[in-house]
Homo-oligomer: A and B are copies of this chain.
């Protein structure tokens, strides 16, 4: 069962509740990325302690390792990984299209070589849904063609034709084998930075009909204003009564702007990847906690954070752990960063329910030192 209840709007920003297979997900929500069946440096029971209701799993990675069959025989990804929250799985499309020379798009699907051992594989829209159903995913993203940036309008239109054809086939597969099962399905809007293509994409996907809709193909190297222009022209065309997911985005400021444009769901590797590299997010902007200037800073990573890391540890200590190349440094900064992202969408949701989201966003963006994100 998947339901979406839109509870409150504040200008274009939306507060809702996504319920899937008994998992209750307040929106807007940020989904941590659990590539290989665990968020990096944060195993599932630790992630649960941060209050995360949903995690993203990568179909491409899980299919290759440990392999779909092992996860299926374990009883699905929830049981295999010991994660009791909801799981959304991407289609693998993004990973495959990042392989560059190792892949070939055909009408039927996409041929690619494993980055692990060079072995050849073939993903079809139907096969990818079947993999995700075998993983026991709660929300399965359709296989799509992620158009790189830059691309001409003709290239983007070609890719979109394939994407929309695959979307229809994905939904047919879902209707055939998944409609009564736990694995629901979201469509993905492509079309690069071309408004006409994005509009066409939404229209067709709405006709096909999905449980939710995602904006894909952004945050792939295009200038930020192109990204926000695309979101602001696309989001209003998306169904009001279905969750709207902006894939692979982004910085805290991007997320606040995305929420202001009506987005409900986000995912990004930034809090985890940057955490492992020594970048801690704060309400004043990210800080490079490895830097020598924090060696005797006995305050928390962020004085306005109530996470288990900020309650117990100082910048000086975490800086020392990074300096000593201790795994604990990556663990603690990952925890803090994910808590920060979850806290951010939680505070945004509160602001929406009180119909003062614009004020919240303005205050956040004024305070948050965007410029430091150059380091990201």
Which residues on A are within 8 Å of B, measured CB to CB?
36-45, 61, 65-66, 70, 73-75, 80-82, 295-296, 298, 308, 312-314, 316-317, 320-321, 323-324, 326-328, 330-332
Identify A38's interface contact among B43, B44, B298, B328, CB under 8 A. Answer: B328
Task: Judge whether B296 and A43 touch: CB under 8 Å.
Answer: no
Task: Judge whether B80 and A316 touch: CB under 8 Å.
Answer: yes
Task: Judge whether B40 and A314 touch: CB under 8 Å.
Answer: no
Task: Judge whether B331 and A82 touch: CB under 8 Å.
Answer: no
Whether A317 touches B73, Cβ cut-off 8 Å, given contacts A308-B45, A326-B36, is no
Task: Judge whether B328 and A74 touch: CB under 8 Å.
Answer: no
- Shortest distance from the beta carbon of A294 to any chain B beta carbon, whole Å: 11
Known contacts A41-B331, A43-B321, A66-B324, then 14 further A-B pairs from the complex at CB < 8 Å, ordered by chain A residue: A36-B320, A37-B317, A38-B326, A43-B313, A43-B328, A44-B312, A61-B324, A65-B320, A65-B323, A65-B324, A73-B298, A74-B298, A80-B316, A81-B317
Identify A70's interface contact among B70, B295, B327, CB under 8 A. Answer: B295
Of all chain B residues, the one with the shortest Cβ separation from A81 is B317
Identify A331's interface contact among B312, B314, B331, CB under 8 A. Answer: B331
Give Cα distance in the complex from A298 to B74, angstroms: 7
Q: Sorted from nearest, which 10 A-B pairs have the closest CB atoms?
A: A43-B328, A82-B312, A36-B324, A66-B320, A38-B328, A41-B327, A82-B313, A45-B312, A74-B298, A38-B326
Task: Judge whether B326 and A327 touch: CB under 8 Å.
Answer: no
Give Cα distance in the complex from A264 to B209, angstroms: 68
Give Cα distance in the complex from A38 to B324, angstroms: 10
Task: Judge whether A37 and B320 touch: CB under 8 Å.
Answer: yes
Give Cα distance in the complex from A73 to B316, angstroms: 11
Instruction: Kindly list chain B residues whose C-beta atoms are within 8 Å of the C-beta of A331.
Output: 41, 43, 327, 331
Instruction: Kindly list chain B residues whose C-beta atoms are within 8 Å of the C-beta of A295.
Output: 66, 70
Instruction: Kindly list chain B residues whose C-beta atoms are within 8 Å of the C-beta of A323.
Output: 65-66
- Shortest distance from the beta carbon of A236 to any chain B beta carbon, whole Å: 40
Instruction: Kindly list chain B residues whose C-beta atoms are within 8 Å of the C-beta of A296.
Output: 70, 73-74
Whether A326 touches B65, Cβ cut-off 8 Å, given contacts A82-B313, A317-B80, is no
Instruction: Kindly list chain B residues whose C-beta atoms are within 8 Å of the C-beta of A321.
Output: 36-38, 43
Give Cα distance in the complex from A327 to B334, angstroms: 12
- Shortest distance from the beta carbon of A14 to any chain B beta carbon, whole Å: 34
Whether A327 touches B324, Cβ cut-off 8 Å, given contacts A312-B82, A317-B74, A317-B80, is no
Give Cα distance in the complex from A74 to B308, angstroms: 19
- Shortest distance from the beta carbon of A26 to any chain B beta carbon, whole Å: 25
